[in-house]
Amino acid sequence: MDKFSLAGKTAVLTGAARGLGLEFADALASAGANIAILDVGNPGDNLEKLTAKHKVTAKFYKTDVTRRGEVEAAVAAIEADFGSVDINVNAAGIVKDEPFLSTSDINLSSTFSVNFVGSFLVAQACAQAMVRKQKKANGSNGAVGATHTTNGSIVFIGSVASHVPTTVQNISVYCASKSAVRGLVKPLAMELASYGIRVNSLSPGPMKTDMYKQVAAEQPAFARQVERETLFGRVGNPDELRGVMLFLCSDASSWMTGQDLLVDGGATSWNYPAA
């Protein structure tokens, strides 16, 4: 059996209308997963391209992940449309460069609302759906036996910024929000293990997303410093996270829960030169 196969599985991803989230969706679809995307932004023709490329079903659910009602309604619709929720990847996030001494209430509130509260609410709703699926399969309370491998996989997207700050950005609120997200992993892994649900996080280093390219074009000094902070002297390409994401979401990592995978090009492995 191919433990990397996700055939017949349904993956719920937030923030996947574009950027890293869309890359994750494509990676999971390539392994056979059907894709449900929750986002406030419209994916345009990205879902049609994904469906045509991988011959899977992909649907978009316009959802503000900071609002419990919208999240619960979206997950209920996904259960009705796809039959189950098997995977949840929480990639929705925002960041604003703002010095700590003048950080605004708006930045503080919006960053934690999207990055932490949104991740919490979607993971909670998806975990509830996974438990419902298990109850239908097992009857009783949905708890699984010792021989069961995986009833579901939840992956939070953290950040290298929750491990070490960069010298060229003032993003204390973002760093704190991602640290809070990473703080969910171990307690949720403990609480959900009896239902066969694994919980892990992926903390990427700086990635060459469209947003990064725009900032790098406007601030070349920023780009040069970020590149200096990795051992390879460059930022990562989004496709370099595909294998890690597929590993976390599939039974290839069936013995792994409560962990954070740091994929940062070695940025946290040395004392890099300051700006």
Beta bridge partners of 14: 38, 90
DSSP state of 272: P
Q: How many residues does the chain have?
A: 275
The single residue listed with the structure tokens 């704190």 is 176
How far is the C-alpha of 66 from the C-alpha of 52, rounded, in Å?
A: 31
Query: Could you confirm whether 212 is annotated as catalytic?
Result: no
At 33 the three-state DSSP class reads coil
Residue 274, judged by CB atoms within 10 A of its CB (0-12, 13-18, 19+), counts as exposed
Catalytic residue (one of 174, 195, 212, 272): 174
- At 7, list the tokens: 């055939």
Angle between helices 119-138 and 68-82 (to 10 degrees): 40
Show which residues are catalytic: 174
